[in-house]
């Protein structure tokens, strides 16, 4: 999880983000990809699913990210579940949105 993406790299990775940032991103990087595939970024606030985004991953190495716009009501603990195209979990990233 990071504050932004610059030059295809995550900027200021962290686990706590201020609502003042107005936007946060989930950056994922894959290598040794045999063939074109898809992954999902599932954004949850507490245990409520907020949004799901489908991303394309191309061989041999690929980076991609998703972002969400923050509102005042979004404060609290969040997580992003990264799953493959068959909904198998690959990684879960946990963070908080605060003042």
C-alpha to C-alpha distance for 68 and 22, rounded to whole angstroms: 8
Tell me the three state secondary structure of residue 45: strand
> Does residue 99 bind other proteins (CB under 8 A)?
yes
Between the alpha carbon of residue 40 and those of residues 21, 26, 55, 72, the distances in Å are 24, 11, 6, 25
Q: Kindly tell me which of 37 and 75 has the beta carbon lying closer to other proteins.
A: 75
Q: Kindly tell me which of 37 and 63 has the beta carbon lying closer to other proteins.
A: 63
> Does residue 79 bind other proteins (CB under 8 A)?
yes
Residues 41-70 that bind other proteins (CB under 8 A): 44, 46-47, 64-65, 67
As measured in angstroms, the least distance from the Cβ of 57 to other proteins is: 13
Between the alpha carbon of residue 13 and those of residues 35, 48, 88, 95, the distances in Å are 29, 23, 25, 11
Q: Kindly tell me which of 7 and 34 has the beta carbon lying closer to other proteins.
A: 7
As a 3-state breakdown, the chain gives helix, strand, coil percent values, each rounded to 5, of 5, 65, 25
Contact residues toward other proteins (CB under 8 A) are 3-8, 11-16, 18, 21, 23, 25, 44, 46-47, 64-65, 67, 75-77, 79, 92, 94, 96, 98-99
């Amino acid at each position: 999880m990071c504050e932004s993406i610059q030059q295809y790299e995550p900027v200021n990775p962290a686990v706590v983000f201020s609502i003042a940032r107005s936007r946060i991103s989930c950056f994922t990087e894959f290598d040794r990809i045999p063939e074109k595939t898809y992954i999902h970024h599932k954004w949850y606030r507490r245990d409520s699913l907020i949004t799901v985004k489908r991303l394309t991953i191309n061989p041999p190495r690929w980076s991609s990210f998703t972002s969400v716009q923050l509102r005042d009501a979004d404060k609290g603990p969040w997580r992003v579940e990264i799953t493959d195209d068959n909904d198998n979990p690959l990684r879960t990233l946990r963070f908080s949105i605060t003042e």
